[in-house]
A = this chain, B = another copy of it.
Amino acid sequence: MKFLKTIKVEEFKEILTSISSLVTEEELINIEVCFNRIVSRDIKSTINVPHFRKSRMDGYAVIAEDTFGAEEDNLIELELIETIQAGDIPQKRLNKKQCSYVATGAALPDNSNGVVMVEFTEVQEKVVLISKAVTPGTYIIEIGHDIKKGEIIVKKGALLDLATIGILASCGIKETWVYKKPKVSLLSTGNELVNQEVQNLEIGKIYDVNSIVLKKAIENTGVLVNFLGIIKDNYEDLKTAVDIALEKSDIVILSGGTSKGEGDLGPKLLEEYENIEILVHGVKIKPGKPIIFAKIKNKIIFILPGYPTSALSCFYVFIDNFLRKISGYPLRDKFSKVMAVGERIYSTVGRHEFKAVKIKEFDGVKQIYPIKTGSEAISTMFFADGYIEIEELESIIEKGEKRKVYFF
């Protein structure tokens, strides 16, 4: 068991990057519900796509050689023997000087080797006049042109985005093997917390926000989240809850209980687990310095600060893309823009600060303003448009300095 000292933001990010996938179990699911899942086995097509020769245009399927010499002033006459719409099975094969109407996507009659577009034809009852010669192969989509039978169409590890699902659907595949979603257990700790079922709040109590907001934020990364409830700051209750959480899930996220106050049992509790590696205990950031990251065998525990604003900031900065990587979901692009600071901003020396900011526009120029409520206020999160990073050794950012704003 080792306790690391408070570490820097970049060190923590490196530790998280070094963790690879947690889940290797597979499940077979319908492609209707496979969006954004990760394929766990190479998938081969059992058919050619298309599996029949088809027309790329509305026109007449012909024996190309029959059209040679056709021009606007030298119409060639072919006998129309059949009309083939998309979905029809051609009933007749072409003999010399015969043709069949084919709609776009329709199957071609045997013996045909070219299609003359409707624009270059004129129909007179059972006769079609051709005004343009075609070479063999014109406007024909050959068997397997798009996908060949036996070809690997989707590789193990691929993300099932819409285009990839389209490939499966077009090959007639209705189920696919994917990795199971990582399971996350979420716990809110704190004697002060009550859920929204409680009608009349006692003095000292507050409504738990993390069970709803943090839960949804975690869910949005593609993992399964199970909220295990509000746990009292009491050794036995917390131990029981964490044991259940470790049993049930791959990742355990607790909120609350990481600071130095007397009521904080999280760190004490973790120390007692055998095989635990506490990799991070405290990160030099504000808000939310207290953050713990530990591994027990192949399971992972995070303890986040209790204030919803701090918990959610920590989540976005460190855990969001980590969980997306673990579940295979597309990472969140951090959308950022450089702007000037509109009012002096203060920061604490010795902490890397993620300062919530508001963007205000005057005379068409957007500027950065600090939000003055602290991390204890839920409204801080509500009014913030994004955050700026303030380095450990900076204490003041003067009006007019340019900073990069990361938007939420």
Contact = CB atoms under 8 A, between A and B. Distances in A.
Interface of A: 31-32, 35, 47, 49-52, 56, 58, 83-90, 103-107, 141, 145-147, 162-167, 169-174, 190-193, 196-199, 201-209, 211-213, 215-217, 233, 259-263, 306, 308, 312, 333, 335, 373-374, 376-379, 381-382, 384, 408
A291 to B, nearest CB: 16
Contacts of A211: 169
Contacts of A335: 333
A378 B170 contact: yes
A216 B164 CA distance: 12
Tally of this chain's copies: 2
Contact of A170 (B31, B146, B308): B308
Contact of A50 (B197, B199, B206, B333): B206
Given A162-B216, A162-B312, 10 more contacts: A90-B203, A165-B213, A166-B312, A166-B381, A169-B208, A169-B212, A169-B213, A170-B209, A172-B196, A172-B207
A147 B379 contact: yes
Contact of A202 (B49, B89, B191, B193): B89
A308 B163 CA distance: 9
Nearest to A161: B408
A118 to B, nearest CB: 9
Contacts of A191: 85-88
Contacts of A259: 58, 104
Contacts of A164: 382
